[in-house]
Structure 1
Amino acid sequence: MKRNLVGRTMLATVSMSAIAGLALSACGSDNNTGGAGSSAAGSSAAGSAECGGKNTLTAEGSTAQQNAIAVFNQAWGQACPGKNLSYNPTGSGAGVTQFIAKNVDFAGSDSALKDDQVQKAAERCGGNPAWNLPLVFGPVALGYNLPGVDKLVLNADLLAKIFTGAITTWNDPAIAALNSGASLPDTKITPIYRSDSSGTTDNFQKYLGAAAPQTWTKGAGKEFQGGAGEGAQKSAGVVQAVQATPGAIGYVEKGFADQAKLTVIQIDNGSGAVELTDESAKKAIEGAKISGTGNDLVLDLNSLYGTTEPGAYPLVLATYNIVCSKGYDADTAGAVRSFLTVAANQGQANLAAAGYVPLPDQFKERLITAVAAIQ
């Protein structure tokens, strides 16, 4: 039976300075102080950034993206003094909704626009298509709370069975078979899932569908479909629930798992157990392909999640920024181009410290081309 853990959660609106302090404690303070509606056209820039458009942008969405946004926001303020992005990490579903409603300049989402959202987004953009731009890749960790078990290997089939309630104890023979020599307790397994609309949930379920299609038949989507476990609001809520619940396992972005010092599983992708590291995640990303056309850079997730490449960690989500291709006023278009240009260049430098994998060169080249075409 599902229970919604609503206790220890993050506030819906998180200030960028607080997020930057979390992700960038070693990088100094964020000095972005641009005022809403002011213009910075003509201000000088460091590096290759163009600093046109208004000083303040607004965006909303993915909690998986929030620490990366903090990195990018600081880089933007350094490259273009006075520039600032106000980002509200309410979840991917809420971000897309607010973008379509014209309440924010762009959305952060861990999933590309769905078919039923494409037309609504185009209407928001003055009859022009919205583009899904993968700005950064974030590995998803499976954190668990099992005292005395410091190494645990699972595969997609076992994860699918755990999150549907088909496997309910940690000493289940199928888990034991993949963890030879480990002393597994008979502790009850408590899956922790995102109870809010979440692109991380969507990607986790897409991974299960791609890597264990005969076991995971629940489909995907930003709402959890597994039917087992306890729900928690946002990424921070999942971390807190795992920490507070013996026997728990939950999916959360690597940056959050690292900050909380969660113990995380290794994934057997069919070619042996793979530890989650920057290198193993990058190896999977390098095999991913783009399925979108033109400057709409939607990824073919099956090429990522279905990898059996030795040493490749397959559970890596792409965080998109969803923007109008055309339809912005000139001041907003200039600022969106400026922010994304800095994010794709200077902003990539500190991503690893925040738990993300910087853009591979082939994605970066196409992203910069798309950003330059935003009007």
Structure 2
Amino acid sequence: MRFASRLKEVGESATFRYSALAKKNKVINLTIGRTDFDTPSVIKEKTKKAIDEGKVHYTPTKGIPELRECIAKKLERENGIQNLDLENILISTGAKQIIFEAVMSIVQKRDIVAIPKPSWVSYESIVKLAEGSVRWIPLKAENGFIPDDDFLSVLENSNPRLIFINSPNNPTGAVYPEKIIRKIVDIAERKNAFILSDEIYEKIIYEGKHFSPGSIYENTITVNGFSKEFSMTGWRLGYAASQNREIIDKMNLIQSQTVSCAVSFVQYGAVAAFTADARRDVEEMVEELKERRDHIMKGMKDTNAILVKPSGAFYVFPFFGGDDLKLADGLMENGVGVIPGSSFGSSGRGCVRISYGSASEEELERAVNIIKEFIAEIQYV
């Protein structure tokens, strides 16, 4: 049977594959890109109320006005993104769907898309589905996976149609300084390129400060959602905003012919995410995640790995050297599930991604001991 040729270069998500193996093998699961916290009760209660009130039918394709208004006010107040009315905002079934719609709206065959590496595994696959051409822009562990002058030079010379930014970053936990993002924006302006700013980990920051390129560049698509901040990965709700309404309208056209709209009662429930009660729950979660981050950093410091302290998200991305696929497989056999770093691009070779989002300090301590024993045994370092 013949299938579409566009699928030839699109493989299974490595994160899903290793996560499934970790669950099957019942190991300490440090593969998962989520936390083990519950969705704030105020959101759940508002969602239940919406169901009871019969808010279970189609909504406007761009999303319910109440939620878009909350998002617009949040982006103006917290991100400095001005001049957004409700038509400049699109709500969809998760940030991944939003990214897909943005790429499909912008990228034509062989258009160049600049993606920092290492980066989240789905960026490349989505660009390939759009038949775009990925230009990897390497980041260096010795620079904390923060873009430097070499990065900026390669980025400018790539002549991109679209530039991806992800800060705080998956898999490295790096938080890009404002001055770096401003330099990336300068390049985008000179090249007349779009910026897709994936800000899904925006509120999970321990040191540093988040800066949104959409506050200074109108051809930015700001992507965010509720999955990480509010522990709503299974609810599937994300959004895009741009001062360039035309790109939002194009994305909305794709949405109207695919998912139609985000789930109605989920949208109504998410309005409660903008309350003081929900914010308080998030603050408590971030404090706990910071303690886990510090715990795992302390435990890993004597492994001789190149270990960059993450300033955000809930991942550590140590470099051990050697074959990271064999390392991840070996750790799985010994009771710890991690993601091989090369899954995130060639700059991740020799690394593994360790997620501390859904593991207790006791589990993290056991996992670190297993990792150290395994590394010593096979003499990776």
- TM-score bracket, normalised by the shorter chain, equals under 0.3
The two structures have a TM-score, normalised by structure 1, of 0.27
Q: Give the structure with the higher percent strand.
A: 1
Question: TM-score by structure 2 length?
Answer: 0.26
